[in-house]
Chain A
Amino acid sequence: MPETFYTIVDVFTRTLSGFLDAAVVTLQLTAVGIVLGCLLGLFFALLKLSKSKPLQLIANIYITIIRGTPLIVQIVFLYYGIAEFVTLSNFQAGAIALGVHSGAYIAEIFRGAIQGIDKGQSEASSSLGMTKTQSMRRIIFPQALKRSIPPLGNQFIITLKDSSLVYVIGVAELFSLANREAAQSFKPFETYVVVGLYYLVLVMIFTYLLHLYEKKLDVDKD
């Protein structure tokens, strides 16, 4: 056991600079994925909540397809599948796939949160002469957003871990590097333990930041 421990430490120090670079790429993928996912999520949540049947249908199709197919398929589809029509770099394809994928789940998070806001809130804003858009923007959505934060946090963590699947199109993120390291060094056990630790630490930092943010929101309010 102590020997294994030393080889893990050895692998860790030897790969440190490489993994740190790769961690930055993982974080970049995650950041783009989350931002894009939130934008798409909000957009499709609003479509789904609109009164227009065609718009609802569009949102339902998006959500059904994305939730019904594996992320890894979506990644290779965006990179190789549509290469004839649109050329994306592997980072772009990976980041967009993560965004489009998480967007379907985030749409449902937002939809649920918006629908969960008491009807009295929109009635009160209507009765004050606010339009539907004003009421959504100023009254309903801020409250819904606050309620979305715990499930959104979960989704962000999933996106962070899902970014490992982008290895399949060769983006130099943590998991790609780990695969290469493991093969070259003949130390798969130690290498995968190390890369696992990177993800674990990132997720823990993320969780902690979310926790701080939630606490900050709770001050003074309901």
Chain B
Amino acid sequence: MLTAKDIHKSFGELEVLKGVDLHVSPQEVVVLVGVSGSGKSTLLRCFNFLEMINSGEIIIDGKSVNSKKDNLSKIRAEVGMVFQHFNLFPHKTVLENIIEAPMMVKKKKKEEAMIHAKKLLEKVGLSDKADVYPNKLSGGQKQRVAIARSLAMEPKVMLFDEPTSALDPELVSEVLGVMRQLAQEGMTMVVVTHEMRFAREVADRIVMIDEGQIIESADPKTFFENPSQERTKQFIQLVG
């Protein structure tokens, strides 16, 4: 579904990704972990070309993407992204946030987009919030709307960039609950998170990134109980 081959990415002098290879199969849930600055968010952002790679190859749904020639908007429309800070559109209601891209990008009719949006709101448990503006929502509610907004494009894969890091602790579980449900429904997901319990329970595979390279890639049981690298052991101890 999603393959990265030998990805290199630098910001000026600083090389953030130093040759990363990752393959995500359909319906697989991959959790990316690592200390801050390790490059995990950058890698995720490369997958939908919010960051352009310096070298390497990104293959989405069997097609190698050339970021210079290809229509990136079209590719991004198939890759959902959920951000740490939600990035809802503050001047639009919850419902308008969700129907915007389907109408603009997929040229869906408004009625059709609204029916779909309402279903998605029901799915994330926010049917009663359709007509409110984002500033009236809690962080957890905002993030659930952001997930619904991404899903409205019917993406083939969903990327989550620390989706619960900006939330008050008591709001984390409602967002993880929605993500868990998505995973169970067979959505292909790549998740950057510090929620180790979520990783343990939901991930098919946990990938550890350290200093711009993947140093460990294993199923949760092996990852937590029998990691191959000393750095991974240290990390697990650090995050509990």
Question: Which A residues contact B (CB, under 8 angstroms)?
Answer: 118, 120-121, 123-131, 134, 138-139, 142-143, 146, 220-222
A-chain residues with CB within 8 Å of residue B146 when the two chains form the complex? 124
Q: Are A128 and B100 in contact (CB under 8 A)?
A: yes
A-chain residues with CB within 8 Å of residue B133 when the two chains form the complex? 220-222
Interface pairs (8), CB distance under 8 Å: A123-B50, A124-B88, A126-B50, A126-B76, A128-B76, A129-B153, A131-B73, A222-B91
Q: Which of B79-87, B177-185, B226-234 contacts A (4 or more CB under 8 A)?
A: B79-87
Q: Are B73 and A130 in contact (CB under 8 A)?
A: yes
B110 to chain A, nearest CB (A): 14
- State whether A124 and B89 are in contact (beta carbons under 8 Å apart), knowing that A129-B153, A131-B73 are contacts in the complex: yes
B181 to chain A, nearest CB (A): 21
Q: Are A128 and B50 in contact (CB under 8 A)?
A: no
A-chain residues with CB within 8 Å of residue B83 when the two chains form the complex? 120, 123-124, 127
Q: Are A121 and B89 in contact (CB under 8 A)?
A: yes
Counted as pairs of residues, one from A and one from B, with CB atoms less than 8 Å apart, the total is: 75
- State whether A138 and B100 are in contact (beta carbons under 8 Å apart), knowing that A120-B83, A126-B50 are contacts in the complex: yes
B-chain residues with CB within 8 Å of residue A220 when the two chains form the complex? 133
Q: Are B81 and A139 in contact (CB under 8 A)?
A: no
3 A-B pairs with least C-beta separation: A129-B77, A124-B87, A128-B101
Q: Are B105 and A129 in contact (CB under 8 A)?
A: yes
B-chain residues with CB within 8 Å of residue A131 when the two chains form the complex? 73
The complex places the Cα of A136 from the Cα of B153 at a distance, in Å, of 19
Q: Are A129 and B101 in contact (CB under 8 A)?
A: yes
B79 to chain A, nearest CB (A): 7
A-chain residues with CB within 8 Å of residue B106 when the two chains form the complex? 129
The complex places the Cα of A104 from the Cα of B216 at a distance, in Å, of 56
B-chain residues with CB within 8 Å of residue A125 when the two chains form the complex? 89, 101
The complex places the Cα of A127 from the Cα of B146 at a distance, in Å, of 12
- State whether A143 and B90 are in contact (beta carbons under 8 Å apart), knowing that A120-B85, A129-B74 are contacts in the complex: yes
Q: Are B91 and A127 in contact (CB under 8 A)?
A: no
The complex places the Cα of A130 from the Cα of B71 at a distance, in Å, of 11
Asked if B188 CB lies within 8 Å of chain A CBs, one says: no
Interface mask (B183-227 → A, CB under 8 Å = 1, otherwise 0): 000000000000000000000000000000000000000000000
B-chain residues with CB within 8 Å of residue A129 when the two chains form the complex? 73-74, 76-78, 101, 105-106, 153
A-chain residues with CB within 8 Å of residue B89 when the two chains form the complex? 121, 124-125, 139, 143
- State whether A128 and B150 are in contact (beta carbons under 8 Å apart), knowing that A120-B85, A221-B91 are contacts in the complex: yes
A-chain residues with CB within 8 Å of residue B50 when the two chains form the complex? 123, 126-127
B184 to chain A, nearest CB (A): 24
Having A127-B50, A128-B101, one finds 19 other A-B pairs with CB under 8 Å, namely A124-B81, A124-B83, A124-B88, A125-B89, A126-B48, A126-B50, A127-B76, A127-B81, A127-B150, A129-B77, A129-B105, A129-B106, A129-B153, A130-B105, A143-B89, A220-B133, A221-B133, A222-B91, A222-B135
Instruction: Give A145's nearest chain B residue, CB to CB.
Output: B91
A221 to chain B, nearest CB (A): 5
Interface mask (B21-62 → A, CB under 8 Å = 1, otherwise 0): 000000000000000000000000000101000000000000
Asked if B115 CB lies within 8 Å of chain A CBs, one says: no
Instruction: Give A123's nearest chain B residue, CB to CB.
Output: B50
Residue of A123, A128, A134, A146 touching B91 (CB-CB under 8 A): A146
Asked if B104 CB lies within 8 Å of chain A CBs, one says: yes
B149 to chain A, nearest CB (A): 7
- State whether A127 and B105 are in contact (beta carbons under 8 Å apart), knowing that A121-B89, A221-B133, A221-B135 are contacts in the complex: no
The complex places the Cα of A131 from the Cα of B71 at a distance, in Å, of 9
